[in-house]
């Protein structure tokens, strides 16, 4: 079961999810597409250029595979400390 976390503005549209990913979800892109269909308001946030996605606390600009063993976090623009 994958854990999906939402920070910043993403927390306005969803709380933490613990879900079995559908077979068609294999990477960050397909996960975002899936969540866009499931969560109202998610797609617009995910499309913002300053959105960051981490997989197991690692952020990469490249595509990354995801699975049910992973913790994936969606982060909106950082406000700073």
Partner 1 sequence: MIRISELPINPEAELSAFRKAVPNAGAIGSFTGIVRDDGETEHLTLSHYPGFTERQIEGFLKEANTRWMLQGVLILHRVGKMTVGEPIVVVAAASAHRRDAFEACDYLMDRLKCDAPFWKQETVGGETRWIEPRAQDRSDLNRWSP
* Residue ranges binding partner 1 (CB under 8 A): 5, 7-9, 11, 50, 54, 57, 73, 75-81
Q: Shortest gap between Cβ of 39 and partner 1 (angstroms)?
A: 18
User: Dihedral, CA atoms, 54, 80, 47, 65, nearest 10 degrees?
Assistant: -10
Q: Which is nearer to partner 1, 17 or 33 (CB)?
A: 17
Asked if 78 and 54 touch (Cβ cutoff 8 Å), the reply is: no
Q: Shortest gap between Cβ of 8 and partner 1 (angstroms)?
A: 4
Distances (CA, A) of 5 to 41, 46: 15, 13
Q: Shortest gap between Cβ of 10 and partner 1 (angstroms)?
A: 9
């Amino acid at each position: 079961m994958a854990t999906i976390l939402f920070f910043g503005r993403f927390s306005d549209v969803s709380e933490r999810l613990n879900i079995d990913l559908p077979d068609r979800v294999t990477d960050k892109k397909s996960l975002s597409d899936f969540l866009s269909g499931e969560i109202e308001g998610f797609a617009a946030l995910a499309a913002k250029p300053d959105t960051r996605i981490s997989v197991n606390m690692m952020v990469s600009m490249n595509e990354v595979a995801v699975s049910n063993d992973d913790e994936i976090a969606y982060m909106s623009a950082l406000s700073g400390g």
